[in-house]
Structure 1
Amino acid sequence: MQKMSFTELSLSQFYQVAKLRQDVFIIEQQSIYPDLDDMDGEAIHFLCWASVQTDVKLMAYARYRFCDLINQVKIERVVLAVEARSKGLGKQLMQEIITDIQTQHAGMPISLSSQLAAQAFYQGLGFVAEGDSYDDGGIEHITMWYRF
């Protein structure tokens, strides 16, 4: 697992991040939305590769951002390649991100926008759903919180 700022990502690494997000969110899930949202530059990125040699095959990815105006940390763009699903990689990725947030932003509430199909996964990690579900790019989502 690699933790990197945007400026630390090589062009090849960011290409693989964008491709994995496109392949899953836009093509597989048929959700047309602006994935490249101008937030990558302020985010911390977590990348999990198929082997110790990076840049070979990106298997899992997520980012988080500290949002000063609303005093919270947001986890976003959690995505796994098809062949990486149901193998515990998503749980490992999320646990590393939560641990990093606890270290870097102690006491800050963490939010994420979960697809309804993934809600139970996030609940298993300690997230709690809040509010009503809403449509985001043609897929129902719900806001979830992790509070220390």
Structure 2
Amino acid sequence: MTASMLMIYKTFEQLTRDDIYAIAKLRQDVFIVEQNSIYQDLDGLDQNSIHYLINDKNGQLVGYGRYREVESLRKVKIERVVFLSEVRGMGKGEVLLKQMLADISRSYPEYEIVLSSQTYACQFYHRLGFVEFGEPYDDGGIEHIGMLYSQ
């Protein structure tokens, strides 16, 4: 992360009203408006997730991701990884994912780490150690596939 960017993580209870608004706006701006995907973003899972926020030097949220434990499956799911278009391709996604993977591996050493990737982004996740599983599927009009972290 550069000096002009700050990454923090918080539980849902630690998020401020401004954090929650900024997260919802970023996810809406990218996933629903930019990608033209109509889906239920506010899924009731934020309350049980750890949230990673990347802010620029002015305090604007430019990147985000969350993870949550799925205890019944002994898995941790990484979800809602998103960046504003103007900061994509600058390595911030890799920094975010590496931090999330390190934190998850420490907290849940016996759990599998999974995510659902838009198929066009699979190469990005391959570089971080993920492999596809299952068949591609439609999620909000965008093709996705399950991915497993192969450490």
Q: What TM-score range do you get, normalising by the shorter chain?
A: over 0.9
Corresponding position of 2:4: none
Superposed CA deviations along residues 88-110 of structure 1, whole A, max 9, x for unmatched, are: 00000000000000111113110
* Structure 2: stretches of 5+ with no match in the other structure: 1-6
1:119 match: 122
Which residue does 1:97 correspond to in 2?
Answer: 100
Whole-angstrom CA distance in 1 between matches of 2:142 and 2:47:
26
Q: What is the number of equivalent residue pairs in this alignment?
A: 145
Once residues 96 and 130 of structure 1 are traced to their aligned partners in structure 2, the CA distance between those partners, rounded to angstroms, is: 23
Aligned AA (1:36): L
Quote the residue 2:62 is aligned against: 59
CA RMSD after TM alignment: 0.9
The letter of the residue matching 1:119 is C
1:10-48 deviation line (CA, Å, top 9, x unaligned): 000110000000000000000000100000000000001
Equivalent in the alignment of 1:133: 136
| 3-state SS in 2 of match to 1:38 | coil
- Find the aligned partners of 1:8 and 1:82 in 2 and give their Cα distance: 27
Indicate yes or no: 2:49 matched with 1:43.
yes
* Structure 2 residue aligned with 1:22: 28
The residue identity in structure 1 corresponding to 2:29 is D
Preserved CA contact (<8 Å) 1:108 1:147: no
For 1:92, the aligned partner's letter is: V
Q: CA offset at residue 59 of structure 1?
A: 1.0
- The TM-score, its normalising length taken from structure 1, stands at 0.96
Which ranges of structure 1 fall in alignment gaps of 5 or more residues?
A: none
In structure 2, C-alpha distance between the alignment counterparts of 1:133 and 1:125, rounded to whole Å: 20
- Cα shift readout 1:36-84 (whole Å, capped 9, x = no counterpart): 0000000000001002x6xx21111000000011110000000001111
- Among the aligned pairs, what percent are the same residue? 47
Aligned amino acid, residue 79 of structure 1: V
Choose which of 127, 142, 145 in structure 1 pairs with 2:145. Answer: 142
Segments of 4+ in structure 1 off by > 2 A? none
Normalising by structure 2, report the TM-score. Answer: 0.94
